[in-house]
Each structure stands twice: as C-alpha cells, then as structure tokens.
Amino acid sequence: MAIGSGQRRSFGARPSPASRTTFPRCPTGCEVGSLVVHARTEIAFFDVPLPQSGNMVAYLRGVPSVSSAAAVYSGVDVIAILDGAETELDLAYARLEADGAPIASVDRFVASEVLPGLSHSSRQILGRSACLGFVRATIREPDVTVTYAAEVLMGLPGVVRVFPSADKGEIALEVVADGKRALDEIVMSHIQGAAAVVKATRTYVVINSMRWDRGEADDEPLVFISVAKGDAPFALALRARIEKDCAVRCWTFHDIPVGAKSWSDVIDDVIARAACHIFVTSKEALASAECQREFVSADAISVPTDICCLLVPECTAGELPAPYRQRQCLKANDFFAYPHLLDWLLGRAG
C-alpha cells in the first residue's frame, strides 16, 4: 500500500517509490566520495496495543534514527520524529519489527522539508511546563499548494516546526503553548482559522511525562520527588509549580511507564540520574517501606545537601529518623518554605 495515499498501513510495509520525497540536509546535498547522500525527516504515527505507550516511548530511545518520541492523547498512541537517509530509516523500522516492538500499525509521514515556525524558540523557553502537540492539517488542494500553505502556517503563533508533505497534501505542525487552554486557542483560532489554506485538522496532545527529546533529555536537570500515595495531590501541585517557576523537570511515581516490569528498578534509575531529591515527609511516608527504601537509595549516592525533606503540617522534626534530620528540612506550612525550596533547587538543578 502506498504511503502517499494517506491510508493507515500495517507495520512492516514500505512506502512506494512514488511516495518518497527526499531533501538535502545541507543546501546542495552532502557529498561522500562521488555520492551525494540525501537525508529526510519522517513523523511516525504509531498505534500501540494497550497499555504499551510508555514502554514504546522508552523503547524508541534506543533507536538512533529517532530524535524524539512522545505518547499522545487521541487518534494514535505514540508519535516519533526520525531523521536520516532513506535506507537508515527503513532499517530502523525493520529493526522495530524484528525486535517485536509493541506496534499494531504505523503511518509514515515523509516530510518534504522541515521549516522553523514563529514560536521555534518558545519550546526551550517554556521548558517542561510547556503544553505540546502535533496538528495534521489537510490542505485545500488544488486551490492552494502545500508550499504556499506552509508559508502561511509557519507564521502563526504557537507553531514550532512545519513538516509539509506534498505527496499527502498535508502539513504536520509541531505546536507549543503555556497551557491546554492556550493550545486550544492556537488550534481552533489560528490554525483552523487559516481556512483559506486548511481544509481539516487532527490534533494530538503530548503527554509530558511520557516524552523525550534526544537533544535535551540526557543533560536536562531532573528533580526526584518521593511521596506516599496519600500525599500525591500535594506532591503533584508542588511539581507543577516547581516546573513552572524553575524550568526543570520533576519526577514522581506517577511517571512510571504503564506495564513497567519493575517499579523499583525504574525508580532507582531516576534517583541515580536526578540532580537533587525532595522527600515529601509525612507520617504515611515514614511508615512506608518503599519511601524509606527510596531515601536509603538516594542517601547512598548523594551528598547531604542534595536531599531536602519537605515536612507536611502533621509531621514534626522530632518524629524524623536521624538521617532525615541531617538533611535540609523545611516545613511546608512555613511562610518562607517555598522561597527557600526554590533557592535550594536553583543552586543544584538551575
């Protein structure tokens, strides 16, 4: 089945020659000996069997041609961006199939080129607090060309990158906003508002806790938050505020991928990678074997100043075990607790 037809195909089939569009990574192609090697960018829209989205996103990190991957709401389950020569990308898909990756089907969207949008720098400025999404816009051909439509759409607010596909008669847009309401405004008022060039749209909202970008993930500051189940609402509100104020990524047990074989292995890996560790300390947390295990794991590999115990109102310093009292301790209901927490964070993960 031809990829250029726009229909969904079963995993493993290759695009027909007529559907393939290449573009040079450098303006005139990159010469290797007497050959000119052309690279291309594809967006892969994966259907993944439940509940494997998180596992698929993590799995794609091991595929060199994949530059970013994310689980998304609505329509499909996982979206990945791949860069490389045509043969490299074909090999990447073949490897996924041979390794038994959890894929029901994949729609390969081959971009004719990649163009920067008006908000190209906003994703880095907003950091992990950004609300990201992808929009597939069907263009009003033959009234307008895909090339002309791309020029219109790349000038809209919120557009990070533009991926036109002349073969499909579509343009994929990477979009960013500072919240879901702002993202809705970008899609509904601006992209769909460009009715002279856009016929229809499909929107996919990125799940921030299940995404990575090869250019930022490995050296991005990471804050580990240990929390007992009963204190989760407080921890999630704290996480949202820290990510907004400090532009760092926070991690809690809610970020464990669905279907992970070992929760403790995932948690220990994050503890090892985190720049600093916050322990939401309550009576429930002190009675939790898992929370205590996490403290011991972090304490074993961290300098004392990289651990902060944030005491909920019901818990007093006198109830803390000795190792906790030897770390930075803040009472959550103290007026200056949050400014002190920000100072501590920015000194380690800023």
Q: Label residue 26 by pLDDT band (50, 70, 90).
A: very low
Give, as one character, the DSSP assignment of residue 240: H
Has domain 115-210 been given CATH number 3.40.640.10? no
Q: Label residue 15 by pLDDT band (50, 70, 90).
A: very low
Q: How open is the CA angle 184-185-188, to the nearest 5 degrees? A: 80
Could you identify the residue written with the tokens 């490897």? 95
Q: Label residue 307 by pLDDT band (50, 70, 90).
A: very high
Domain 222-349: assigned CATH number:
3.40.50.10140
- Tens digits of per-residue pLDDT, 209-254? 788 887 654 455 689 999 999 999 899 889 888 877 877 788 888 7
Could you identify the residue written with the tokens 């560790």? 277
Rounded to an integer, what is the distance from CA 61 to the centroid of its chain?
Answer: 11
| pLDDT of the residue at 245 | 80
Give, as one character, the DSSP assignment of residue 318: G
Domain 3-111: assigned CATH number:
3.30.70.920
Q: Label residue 261 by pLDDT band (50, 70, 90).
A: low
CB distance 3 to 42 below 8 Å: no
CA distance 4 to 170: 10
Q: How open is the CA angle 272-310-287, to the nearest 5 degrees? A: 80
- pLDDT of 11 > 60? The answer is no
- Tens digits of per-residue pLDDT, 96-119? 888 888 899 999 999 999 998 988
CB distance 109 to 163 below 8 Å: yes
- pLDDT of 317 > 50? The answer is yes
Residue (of 17, 161, 182) closest to 90 by Cα position = 17
| pLDDT of the residue at 126 | 52
For residue 142, is the peptide bond before it cis, meaning its omega torsion is within 30 degrees of 0? yes
Mean pLDDT estimate for the chain: 82
Q: How open is the CA angle 166-167-173, to the nearest 5 degrees? A: 55
| pLDDT of the residue at 37 | 39
Quick check: do 115-210 and 222-349 share a fold?
no
CA distance 211 to 57: 7
| pLDDT of the residue at 120 | 78
Residue 222 backbone phi and psi in degrees, to 5: -130, 130
Beta bridge pairs of residue 35? 32
- pLDDT of 34 > 70? The answer is no
| pLDDT of the residue at 33 | 38
Write out the two tokens for 293: 């295990």
- Please report, for the chain, the start and end positions of each structural domain, with discontinuous segments joined by +: 3-111, 115-210, 222-349
